[in-house]
């Protein structure tokens, strides 16, 4: 019988907490760490071990998962004082669920391999908190095929789909494509819902009326009712995260001469939402921008 790998998880926030909980439920030995320790305590209560720092987590783990806010946070956790690189086991694997820029991911992967002998899989996720809780996430990956094969079974305890899209950075690029679709769809759904409301139609019935037609989609069925009913707790995703990703799309598009006019317009709407509602606002509060609702 093959022995289960020991696991580490760094970053137990909105997504990391339910994803880690699924690993514990699957019977894995899990060490966790979060900058704010209280956010990792529920996992310790379920049987996880609290790590002293990222280096300590890495020293105890065959596979280390990261789920952090941005490139800066990833760099600090991996290469900062007491970071993953200083405690990594040679031959172990880091799987980064964070959404960061593809170039940064490639550069850090090369550095980690050179300094610590640790492989890096960039593996941003889509599906939000509900998907993390249900284990139905879609995860798109970049990296070495052999390393991907070694982590696939474990990752599929947290996801319905785990797809290797190419070499290092390919997962992050695919996630940016995903965010083009999701971010623009949020803006379009807000526009359609406001039009219905202002024209005297019950916007809450749009998902029912459009189900099965060309306009139907998971975002229509999930996002639009939350917009109309001002259901923002818990948030499906913070505006800061969406804006960061859409700005990264625009950066990538400039580097490869790819026009992204709709993404650029959506980014500016989310930037306005950030100013009015704060970085921690639910991204679906974009609907409020076109109405009289107060933040």
In a structure prediction context, what are the per-residue pLDDT tens digits for the chain, which is 295 residues long?
568 999 999 999 989 999 999 999 999 999 999 999 999 999 999 999 999 999 999 999 999 999 998 999 999 999 999 999 999 999 999 999 999 999 999 999 999 999 999 999 999 999 988 899 999 999 999 999 999 999 999 999 999 999 999 999 999 999 999 999 999 999 999 999 999 999 999 999 999 999 999 999 999 999 999 999 999 988 888 999 999 999 999 999 999 999 999 999 999 999 999 999 999 999 999 999 999 767 7
pTM of the model as a whole:
0.92
Write the CB contacts of 30 (distance below 8 Å, at least 6 apart in sequence): 6, 7, 8, 9, 20, 23, 24, 43, 47, 48, 49
pLDDT of residue 236: 82
Give per-residue pLDDT as tens, 129-166.
889 999 999 999 999 999 999 999 999 999 999 999 99
pLDDT of residue 293: 64
- Residues identified as active-site: 175
Tokens of 68: 């952090």
Cβ neighbour number for residue 234 with a 10 Å cutoff: 10
CA within 13 Å, CB half, 117: 8
Residue in the structure block whose two tokens are 């001469």? 257
Whether cis (ω within 30° of 0) applies to the bond prior to 214 is: no
DSSP per residue over the chain, as a string?
-PPPPPEEEE--STTHHHHHHHHHHTT--EEEE-SSGGGTHHHHHTTPEEPSSHHHHHHT-SEEEE--SSHHHHHHHHHSTT-HHHHPPTT-EEEE-S---HHHHHHHHHHHHHHH--EEEE--EESHHHHHHHT-EEEEEBS-HHHHHHHHHHHTTTEEEEEE-SSTTHHHHHHHHHHHHHHHHHHHHHHHHHHHHHTT--GGGHHHHHTTSTT--HHHHHHHHHHHTT--SS-SSBHHHHHHHHHHHHHHHHHTT---HHHHHHHHHHHHHHHHH-TTSBGGGGGGGGSS---
Q: Residue 271's Cα: distance from chain center in Å?
A: 19
- Whether residue 121 contacts residue 66, with contact meaning beta carbons closer than 8 Å, is answered with no
pLDDT of residue 211: 98
Give per-residue pLDDT as tens, 11-25.
999 899 999 999 999
pLDDT of residue 292: 77
Write the CB contacts of 19 (distance below 8 Å, at least 6 apart in sequence): 9, 65, 67, 97, 132, 137, 158
pLDDT of residue 1: 52
């Amino acid at each position: 019988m093959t022995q289960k790998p020991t696991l580490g998880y760094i970053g137990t926030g909105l997504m990391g907490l339910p994803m880690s909980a699924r690993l514990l439920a699957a019977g894995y030995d899990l060490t966790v760490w979060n900058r704010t320790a209280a956010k990792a305590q529920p996992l310790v209560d379920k049987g996880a071990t609290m790590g002293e720092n990222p280096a300590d987590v890495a020293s105890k783990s065959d596979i280390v998962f990261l789920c952090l806010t941005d490139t800066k946070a990833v760099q600090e956790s991996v290469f900062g004082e007491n970071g993953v690189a200083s405690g990594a086991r040679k031959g172990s694997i880091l799987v980064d669920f964070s959404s960061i820029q593809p170039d940064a991911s490639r550069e850090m992967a090369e550095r980690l391999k050179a300094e610590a002998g640790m492989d890096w899989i960039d593996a941003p996720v889509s599906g939000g908190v509900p998907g993390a809780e249900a284990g139905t996430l879609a995860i798109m990956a970049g990296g070495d095929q052999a390393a991907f094969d070694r982590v696939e079974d474990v990752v599929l305890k947290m996801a319905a789909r785990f797809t290797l899209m190419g070499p290092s950075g390919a997962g992050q690029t695919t996630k940016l494509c995903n965010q083009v679709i999701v971010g623009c769809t949020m803006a379009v759904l807000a526009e359609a819902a406001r039009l219905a409301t202002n024209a005297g139609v019950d916007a809450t019935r749009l998902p029912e009326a459009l189900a099965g037609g060309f306009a139907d989609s998971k975002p229509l069925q999930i996002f639009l009712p939350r917009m109309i009913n001002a259901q923002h707790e818990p948030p499906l995703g913070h505006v800061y995260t969406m804006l960061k990703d859409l700005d990264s799309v625009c950066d990538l598009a400039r580097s490869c001469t790819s026009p992204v006019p709709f993404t650029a317009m959506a980014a500016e709407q989310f930037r306005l939402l950030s100013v009015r509602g704060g970085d921690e606002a639910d991204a679906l509060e974009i609907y409020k921008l076109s109405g009289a609702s107060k933040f």
